[in-house]
Structure 1
Amino acid sequence: MPQLEVDGATLTYDDEGPRDGDGVPLVFVHGWTANRHRWDHQVAHFAERRRVVRLDLRGHGESSGSGVRTIDELAKDVVALLDHLKIERFVIIGHSMGGMTAQTIALAHPERIERMVLVDSIGKMAYSRGRALLMAASTLAPFKLFVAANIRRAFAPGYPREEVRAAIRASAETPREVVMTLYGAMRAFDVLDRVGEIAAPTLIVHGYHDIQLPVAQMLRMAKAYPDAVVRILDAGHELPVEKPAELTLALDRFLADRG
């Protein structure tokens, strides 16, 4: 598997599909404590006819590195990889924290974004005072308990328990420093007042049962976008694994729409 050294981290990535395929490359960015394989269904589908790039963010999956404190730093890693691959213009697709990263890239490099897709993501985390205190208190829990609680509630009610347990085990393999600092980075993330600057056509896909980043918060962001389409699917926060085929279909239709 190819790797790239970027600012003290070794980023592992996949670069698949035809270089002269249908449209500009697709760039997939995973979320908090996940890895590039969150996108297996989508990559298998799209790499048949167009170039597809995905990576493990620093400290996640098979990428090394830590010390990242902000979403902006994650965005710089992604841009460094795309510069290395000589990809100038692309479609950026991000899940959760990856969607925050995608918005950061779109704001910093608008000329490079042909389209954007945000999956279970928002422009700002906003909670009541009580919920904010609860979230802050949860960081004091033992690490594995903290991870388990957050990952368990990411899935819609009724999702197979063994698959949830597998997701918890995989997430707990992410280094504690990376997990906790990026948890703080997501809570501090705020581009809500700037998303109106993103002119690229945008698809926002969200799980109806998402309690990590609730639909109401997503809609608060969506109404500020000048050119956005919203799709709500019957799932929780983990759309790429809960409803992979439905998500792929939504992406396919959006990318095929030349309007």
Structure 2
Amino acid sequence: MKLHYQELGEGKPLIILHGLFGSSDNWMTIGKKLAENHKVYLVDQRNHGDSPHSDTHNYEVMATDLKEFIQEHKIENPHIIGHSMGGKTAMQFAVTNPDLYDKLIVVDIAPKAYPVHHDTILEGLKSINLTELNSRNDADKALAEYVPEKGVRQFLLKNLTRDENKNFVWKINLSVIEKSIEAISKGLEKHLSTEKDTLFIGGSESHYIKNEDHIVIINFFPNAKVEMIEGAGHWIHAEKPEEFLEVVMNFLR
């Protein structure tokens, strides 16, 4: 699958993968900063952003998408950053293709299975009747019945766009994501691992990386270290960008 991407800067290549319901645009601010020292590729994963839609959505195919992207663009030994779902894609790629990248940074996700917990968001997005929608404000009002946090709604509604006939449509493949939500929640296969340098960055206010997860992390990534950023939730790069960039750049040096 030919993934849509945005390219910034020059230097050592660095690929960034967004999380569930996200897109490459979510990482533009961080990407511009990292592009001062790197050639940054901001990638839309399948069924997200401007990349193609597919009926299949799991970490095996998304890791293959990443491998094909690296090979197609002749990218040599890139660093890889993955957030949430993108972090699991990056981990799956790393343990199956340890010779195709340099360093790995995983943002606020562990290589374990998580309980399915996006039901309310999915119900909220499905509740928006696109055929009767007149404005983004109407979409926000409908979604607010399911998602009270304004910032989360703004993030989710970045997936709303208009087609050539000016009708509202979703950029994300909502039906396939809903169908695949259990696969998105799965952990890595236990027999795979890599000794490449790996950094896990967690938010102290997030529940995705807990103290007990450090053992699971080391089982897959023996040379991993974990750094927690105080006061950050799940969207660390948006909530604490300066602290996030400092940790990332120190590791990449």
Return the match for 2:77 from 69, 89, 93: 89
Structure 1 residues 185-227: Cα deviation after superposition (integer angstroms, max 9, x where no partner): 1223333553xx211111110011213x242464242332321
Q: The residue matched to 2:37 in structure 1 has which SS? A: coil
Structure 1 residues 146, 124: closer, same or farther in 2, change over 3 A?
A: farther
Q: Aligned ranges for residues 25-104 of structure 1 at < 5 Å? A: 25-104=13-92
Q: Structure 1 pair 182/248, CA: closer, same or farther in 2 (3 Å)?
A: farther
Show CA shifts across 1:35-80 (max 9, x none): 0122222211121222111211111112221212311111111111
- Structure 1: gaps (5+ residues): 1-5, 127-131, 154-160
Q: 1:162 aligns with which of 144, 150, 153?
A: 150
Contact 1:68/1:74 (8 A) holds in 2: no
Distance 1:137 1:12 in 2: 25
Tell me which residue corresponds to 1:186.
Answer: 184
Q: Aligned runs of 1:173-212 on 2, under 5 Å?
A: 173=170, 174-194=172-192, 197-211=193-207
- Is residue 231 from structure 1 mapped to residue 227 from structure 2 by the alignment? yes
TM-superposed deviation, 1:146: 8.9
User: Which stretch shifts more, 215-224 or 71-80?
Assistant: 215-224
Cα deviation 1:104-134 (Å, max 9, x = unaligned): 11111111121100001111124xxxxx5xx
Identity of aligned residues (%): 26
Q: In structure 2, do the counterparts of structure 1 residues 44 and 182 end up closer, same or farther at CA, with 3 Å as the change threshold?
A: farther
RMSD of equivalent CA atoms: 2.8
* Cα deviations by residue, 1:13-43 (Å, 9 ceiling, x for unpaired): 012222xx2xx31111111110012222221
Matched position secondary structure for 1:206: strand
Identify unmatched segments of 5+ residues in structure 2: 129-142, 161-169
Amino acid across the alignment from 2:184: M
CA contact (8 A) 2:78 2:101 kept: yes
Aligned partners of 1:41 and 1:245 also within 8 Å: no
- Answer yes or no: is the 8 Å Cα contact 2:111–2:216 preserved in 1: yes
Task: Provide, for residues 200-256 of structure 1, a one-character-per-residue CA deviation record: whole Å limited to 9, x for no partner.
Answer: 111110011213x24246424233232112110121111121222211111111111
The alignment of Structure 1 onto Structure 2 pairs a total of residues equal to 226
TM-score (norm 2): 0.78
Q: 1:11 aligns with which of 3, 14, 17?
A: 3
**Hey, what's the Cα distance between the residues in 1 that align with 2:27 and 2:213?**
21
From the superposition, tell whether residues 227 and 246 of structure 1 become closer, same or farther in structure 2 (CA, over 3 Å).
same
